[in-house]
Structure 1
């Protein structure tokens, strides 16, 4: 892997969210890099016509970093137009523009096209070899204007993801965790990664004073936690979760969901979701909660 970094030519203090232009030859990993940045909370727009970029940047008003995917597939692409646009953006005061160029050896690009059996965008009716050669020639001046070059010839998807995260999120990408509570009467929520059945715990429903409340209330939580089996169960769930999250993050997941189920989805499962959310937040995790059976509940 080779990296080239050069200082941005902007002048003045940065006052706008950063802009990253992702470019490079087809098959070098542009889409993967854009997806990684989107997972890092960049607003992503791919294959935007070059003529629209200045107007988009001039409009401003966004409070999120922006990543734009630009390449010869753009209908109005030309090497000169793209170089001029890069120079214009880098000269804009208050805007930090970074050009990320994904590169790879011609033989590697050709092999990747052969594996996917796709037509090369620059030679749809001709050989992929000709398309790869044309694109590398077109993109060379853009590569010379770039701030960061990542050669992906020897990288897999996970290694490229890690490199982009290292460059644009030095503190590490945060895995978003969502916690769900539900009633088994209505079935397990769709698309959850891990499910725990907590129907073995003491049920507050059978206590008249607690029945009308739910697992967000302190009295209900104290009742559920008073079960001698609660603490051991909770500690194991927490330890398992904390041990798995880094592994899933390294694997490239950006979101992981955990569901707790009980009979009515009002008391025990809600208590577990709320308690685990607090514990994970203390560990620095980004957590959201959804109580499916509680009226008017939304992600928070």
Structure 2
């Protein structure tokens, strides 16, 4: 049996993630109390379901506190349990609730959306460490669906290295384990002929090939990750996210993320380009 748990902040895209899994053939359940997970899985197994996705969040109330123990119990039974924790910056969540005119599940008389978000963050503080985090602040629904499917398709028995490019002017990803700032490198943005391209296009690749410091930066980052990767493997982690940031997230960070992914091709690797996905 394969169990994907979806948790996170209200407005972060949990419904989108759950629907993406449903479209991929998972039997999906929204808002199940954590304490009911073992009994529910026994029932689903009797019905012949093997791929199951369940949303567990603050709507289930006090039972949420039992989630860490329940996850440990299920993993001890050799059930493939993966938890995806979705989050976004508070200002992004406030904007989403305002645009959709939805009510925050924890809001009430005298409680603002901002205060409800803060309360929810505190209630969920122990959950992110149970799985992998996805910062949806800059993601479209299509990009989130794609990222969720990629994570689910990865072999759970291996640590997945995620190389993620981003632009500092759009904010640092909250889901990053390592953040490398490459804004000191030559910037093709200032060449009008190169500006429309991205770090995956040949004109940008040719541009960086002329600057030795770019190759040196890639080698240094690669060496650090290679040195410490065994330590993260010992922790039995499922994912390690390495974020590479430049100013706009179009050229330098994209080029370096792509090169690092190739350097670790023998590992289980995913590549994300946060700013390239914004309009798709």
TM-score (norm 2): 0.51
- Counterpart residue number, 1:84: 69
- Counterpart residue number, 1:234: none
Aligned counterpart for 1:96 among listed residues 73, 77, 80: 80
Instruction: Please tell me whether the aligned partners of residues 6 and 86 of structure 2 are also in contact (alpha carbons under 8 angstroms).
Output: yes
- Counterpart residue number, 1:145: 130
Instruction: Please tell me whether the aligned partners of residues 90 and 96 of structure 1 are also in contact (alpha carbons under 8 angstroms).
Output: yes
User: Which protein has the larger Cα radius of gyration, Structure 1 or Structure 2?
Assistant: 1
**Distance in 2 of aligned mates of 1:141 and 1:158:** 28
Aligned counterpart for 2:6 among listed residues 22, 41, 53: 22
Aligned counterpart for 2:27 among listed residues 16, 39, 43: 43
Deviation string for 1:211-259 (max 9, x for gaps)? xxxxxxxxxxxxxxxxxxxxxxxxxxxxxxxxxxxxxxxxxxxxxxxxx
Question: SS of 2:102's equivalent?
Answer: coil
Supply the RMSD in Å over aligned alpha carbons. 2.0
Question: SS of 2:133's equivalent?
Answer: strand
**Distance in 2 of aligned mates of 1:134 and 1:103:** 14
Runs of 4+ residues deviating >6 angstroms:
none
Residue 63 of structure 1 and its aligned partner are, at CA, apart by: 3.5
> Structure 2 matches for 1:58-137, cutoff 5 A?
58-59=42-43, 60-61=45-46, 62-78=48-64, 80-93=65-78, 95-125=79-109, 126-137=111-122
> Structure 2 matches for 1:139-288, cutoff 5 A?
139-146=124-131, 148-169=132-153
Q: Mind listing any 5+ residue stretches in structure 1 that lack a counterpart?
A: 1-16, 171-300
**Distance in 1 of aligned mates of 2:62 and 2:29:** 16
**Distance in 1 of aligned mates of 2:41 and 2:25:** 18
**Distance in 1 of aligned mates of 2:17 and 2:101:** 22
Residue 76 of structure 1 and its aligned partner are, at CA, apart by: 4.3
Question: SS of 1:77's equivalent?
Answer: helix
Question: SS of 2:151's equivalent?
Answer: helix
More helix by share: 2
Residue 49 of structure 1 and its aligned partner are, at CA, apart by: 2.3
Residue 31 of structure 1 and its aligned partner are, at CA, apart by: 0.4
Q: Mind listing any 5+ residue stretches in structure 2 that lack a counterpart?
A: 155-280
**Distance in 2 of aligned mates of 1:74 and 1:63:** 23
**Distance in 2 of aligned mates of 1:52 and 1:33:** 21
Question: SS of 1:123's equivalent?
Answer: coil
Aligned residues: 153
Question: SS of 1:122's equivalent?
Answer: coil
Instruction: Please tell me whether the aligned partners of residues 27 and 49 of structure 2 are also in contact (alpha carbons under 8 angstroms).
Output: no
- Counterpart residue number, 2:239: none
Instruction: Please tell me whether the aligned partners of residues 4 and 81 of structure 2 are also in contact (alpha carbons under 8 angstroms).
Output: yes
Provide closer, same or farther for how the CA distance between residues 118 and 63 of structure 1 changes in structure 2, counting only shifts above 3 A.
closer
Residue 48 of structure 1 and its aligned partner are, at CA, apart by: 1.2
